[in-house]
Amino acid sequence: MSELIDNISSSAEAMTKKLVTLRRDLHMHPELRFGEKRTADIVAKRMEKLGLNVRTGVGETGVVAVLRGAKRGKCVALRADMDAIGIQDHKEVNYKSTVPKVTHACGHDAHVTVACGVAEVLAKMQKSIPGMVVFLFQPGEEIGLEGRSGAAAMIEAGALKRPSPEAVFGFHCWPGFKAGTVGVAEGPAMAGADSITFHVYGEGAHAGTPHLGRDAILAMSQCIVSLYHIIPRNLPPSENTTLHFGIVRGGISRAILADRVTAIGTLRTLNRQTRSLMKQRIGETISNICSAYDLGSEIKWTLGIPPVINNKDLTRLVRQASHDVLGKRRTIEVAHCPMTAEDFTLFIQDRPGFHLKLGVADAKTGRCHPLHHNRFDIDEKALPTGVKVLSLALLRYLGAE
């Protein structure tokens, strides 16, 4: 083992207890999007104590901390999101959430903890680091497809300027992999997500005289069934794409033809071509069905976020770092891109990026509740694992070895 790997491994192992204490403290005091005041305060104080240059209030509650190495070199960033989600914690552990209806069920408490750990490992090596490492502590990742996300807010507030990172690394707790392992994937790592709302306009009439009206519910039913046929008949079976309508609203009475029905859904794709083909086919399907029924229609797309695409060179770099610090057996090649989305992608639109899957399932049994489950919890062995892989990856990117 090289001296660098040795140093990283022993510092990460030595801080395990500290990492667990921090993670549990954050877990007990979760904060919702753009309300991460306590979390941001803890982060800022820790970063200042480590000697980093700290900017707070970057995109409301975001924190940017810059570690300047003793030598000149490149600039790289690590992003960690800080917010919790609005559900009740149903776990029975002594570090359960103390805030009603707010829980770290997406593991962002672990993200903040791991990033703080990486900053501590690197701060100790400041004298031998060429270049700079920017830590991006982001608010408001759990926005869904409505409203401005924390990544967008931070970028607008100048988080990627002075200094401007040449590459950005990110990571997410991954319940599908055991603690002590990480997952790497070249290319698509998270889906792009768009939101669609469409209205079908008909004409009301008494249920006893349906020929005098135009039934929007009937046309809507046909639309939904046909829309779900677009993917299997327009895309190759190997292409991961998801279309789902979670809300359908319309009608006022059991005996009246509905004159207006609205459906709201989400489209998840992994590349630009599929995204535009799907938008075209969805539009054609809705308007053709509605005209066949002599009804009007209107479609509104809210363009969400593009997919997270892992850069080839950075993937190689992280894979090798993981092989070296964890071992090949603990480095999982991710075969299928999940169809969840991550606003991390906004940080890597103009520069290469890499997003790591940090295994958090029970290291022995492999059990773990899914993300956003009201009993979601992690095996805390994942914390030093994340610190090791990410510290080595960042240092190698800067050429510290």
Query: Which is closer to Zn ion, CB of 173 or CB of 257?
Result: 173
- State the number of binding residues for Zn ion (CB under 5 A): 1
> Which one-letter DSSP state was computed for residue 30?
-
Closest separation between CB of residue 150 and Zn ion, Å? Answer: 11
| C-alpha span between 302 and 280 (Å, rounded) | 15
Does 361 contact Zn ion by CB under 5 A? no
Which residue number, 170 or 384, has a Cβ lying nearer to Zn ion? Answer: 170
Shortest reach from residue 93's CB to Zn ion, in Å: 20
Q: Which of 31, 120, 141, 259 is catalytic?
A: 141
Q: Which of residues 93-132 bind Zn ion (CB under 5 A)?
A: 106
Q: Which H helix or E strand runs over 369?
A: none
Which CB, 106 or 308, lies closer to Zn ion?
Answer: 106
Q: Least Å distance between CB 314 and Zn ion? A: 20
By C-beta, is 69 or 107 nearer to Zn ion? 107
Q: Do residues 357 and 177 make contact, with C-beta atoms less than 8 angstroms apart?
A: yes
Question: To the nearest 10°, the Cα dihedral for 231, 235, 238, 240?
Answer: -50
For 282-288, the CB contacts below 8 A with 24+ separation are 282/196, 282/227, 282/230, 282/243, 285/223, 285/226, 285/227, 285/230, 286/198, 286/200, 286/223, 286/227
List all residues 6 or more positions away from 329 whose beta carbon is below 8 Å from its beta carbon: none
Q: Which residue is nearest to Zn ion (CB)?
A: 106
Q: What is the C-alpha to C-alpha distance for residues 159 and 147, in angstroms, rounded to an integer?
A: 19
What does residue 226 show for φ and ψ, rounded to 5 degrees? Answer: -70, -35
Site mask for Zn ion (CB under 5 A), range 61-100, x = bound: ----------------------------------------
Q: Which CB sits closer to Zn ion, 60 or 259?
A: 60
Strand partners, 68: 132
> One of 36, 60, 83, 186 is an active-site residue; which one?
83
Q: Does the annotation count 141 as an active-site position?
A: yes
Which positions are annotated as active-site residues? Answer: 83, 141
Residues engaged in binding Zn ion (CB under 5 A) = 106
